[in-house]
A and B are shown apart, each in its own frame.
Chain A
């Protein structure tokens, strides 16, 4: 193997990466540098090019231009060296449905060329860790969505890959399974693994990632730590609606800093969305004896990010560009 691996602390290096399908440009000159042992989140809406990015970096498809190196190995020229180091869990289930969970893991152990005994040990260990010991005897067709996703990730981990690609790992999972998946990802990074994650959820990127890049129509429109990124977007707010202009005016005087809309009698009060600040706000309104018609709490989401970065909400941009 090339000596570059040990010298460089960069796990994934991408410069000027381009890819189109016919006339449709999917990736339009992407540059990225991801440090070893960190979680990187590629954030973007459906159709932004996230999956294409993962497919190119994991040697599944070729790029039209630019370069990508995984631990110093060029993706296009040394695909097998790259494949030896990576693990991929795609958006679509990559388990063999006719095989049992245990057989699927054993298959991976054999294809990773582990010794037979070591492979069987690894299988048992992963079944236990992913709570699939009982289900391991059943065919994968019988698995629920969450179990299938766990098996999928367990299969990726069989060969102890140093760099793991997770393409929307929590899409379609219930909140509990999502938290389990997050914990698994955190544990992996604690073990020194580098993770390249794609997601549509700002919250997920915020929870997990050391670095976030926002992908939109094949270009990176922002890059930074979660805190840097959140500074770019307006924070959350509490939205108060009143029956008449008088209520709105007295409330605006009572709560201080806020944005009012006289046409709809609504007031937007900046807030972190926490219970404490909400209670404080309600106390203030109570004290001034103001009746609130309706109240809602808004936390910043992907739409806010796009609104802040592009000046247009996500849904309207497609027609503009």
Chain B
């Protein structure tokens, strides 16, 4: 008998558990305030100047609202990831996890429950941020097909970042440490093409910005939502997401399966 036969059923059960948690204590959803505030800040405070620097036809605040939104979306993903790391770390301190470990269930289901519930919360947060974006001047030109593709790209990077933060939540000994570990992710959109074009940066920073994983994701989103050139960014985005997901999944699984006494 193998517990693998119960992979889907156990994961669905754990998702139900995490959804109840989400309704009663929605950590990831509560963190949606950060990207919303950043969006307002960048559109209404910095937007006029930064937008002028983009050198587009219309220039100014309206153009910058369009330019900055993909970056803000990835900040939303990074903030939600922090919530995931916190809830995983909190869960691991609970006695019920020891109970799960002594039951014949598909082991990674505890983790997939967290991932699926965080994915749902993050997609909701992204919808909120896009909604606020439209209110402050974001004007996407995407066709329905492009919208579906954009949502797909967002889901992919979300899953990748969530698995990474699940591992972060497992590797730390305390909830406080778990909340800090995914923090650098919030900086990645700034050190990429999220807020200003990378060719305006000093050589070394620009080089990092060009080759880090968030840049191709943001460029792909920009292309899908606003019709800019995508080039090979789509392939790079898919490749990055796949690699991060796979490595993080294996790492998280290994961390969860380690003997708690060693």
Binding partners A and B: yes
Report which A residues bind B (CB closer than 8 A): 1, 19, 21, 52, 55, 58-62, 80-81, 83-84, 86, 88, 90, 92-99, 103, 107, 110-113, 139, 155
- Measured CB to CB, the closest approach of chain A to B12, in angstroms, equals 8
Give the docked Cα–Cα distance between A52 and B16 (Å).
Answer: 32
A62 near B259 with CB under 8 A, answer: yes
Of all chain A residues, the one with the shortest Cβ separation from B101 is: A60
Chain A residue at smallest Cβ distance from B99: A94
The CA of A93 and the CA of B93, in the complex, are separated in Å by 11
Say whether A113 contacts B95, CB under 8 Å.
no
| B residues near A84, Cβ cutoff 8 Å | 1, 104
Number of B interface residues in the complex (CB < 8 A): 28
Q: How far is the CA of A55 from the CA of B21 in the complex (A)?
A: 28
State the 5 A-B residue pairs at the shortest beta-carbon distance, nearest first. A61-B261, A94-B95, A83-B104, A94-B99, A110-B13
A111 and B102 within 8 A (CB): no
Assess the B17–A96 pair: CB atoms within 8 A.
Answer: yes
Contacts of B100 in A (CB 8 A): 111
Contact for B102 among A59, A62, A81, A110, CB less than 8 A: A59
Counting CB contacts under 8 A, is B202 at the interface? no
Contact of A80 among B3, B94, B98, B262 (CB under 8 A): B3
The contact of B10 among A1, A103, A111, by CB within 8 Å, is A111
Once bound together, how far apart are the Cα atoms of A317 and B219, in whole Å?
70
Cα(A103)–Cα(B104), bound, Å = 19
In the assembled complex, the CB of A72 is this many whole angstroms from the nearest CB of chain B, namely 14
Measured CB to CB, the closest approach of chain A to B43, in angstroms, equals 37
Task: Flag if B6 contacts A113 (CB, 8 Å).
Answer: yes
| Min C-beta distance of A269 to chain B, whole Å | 47
User: Does B95 lie within 8 Å of A93, measured CB to CB?
Assistant: yes
B24 contacts which chain A residues (CB < 8 A)?
98, 139
18 A-B Cβ contacts within 8 A? A21-B261, A59-B102, A60-B98, A60-B101, A61-B262, A80-B2, A81-B104, A86-B102, A88-B98, A90-B99, A94-B98, A96-B17, A97-B94, A99-B17, A107-B16, A107-B17, A110-B9, A113-B9
Q: Which residue of A lies closest to B91 (CB)?
A: A96
The verdict on B103 contacting chain A, using a C-beta distance below 8 Å, is: yes
A81 to B16 CA separation, bound complex (whole angstroms): 26
Within 8 A of A (CB), among B50-104: 94-96, 98-104
Q: Are B102 and A88 in contact, CB atoms less than 8 angstroms apart? A: yes
Most chain A CB within 10 A, of B13, B94, B96, is at B96
Tell me the nearest residue of chain A to B3, going by C-beta: A80
The residue in chain A whose Cβ has the minimal distance to the Cβ of B107 is: A80
Tell me if B95 and A90 are in contact (CB < 8 A): yes
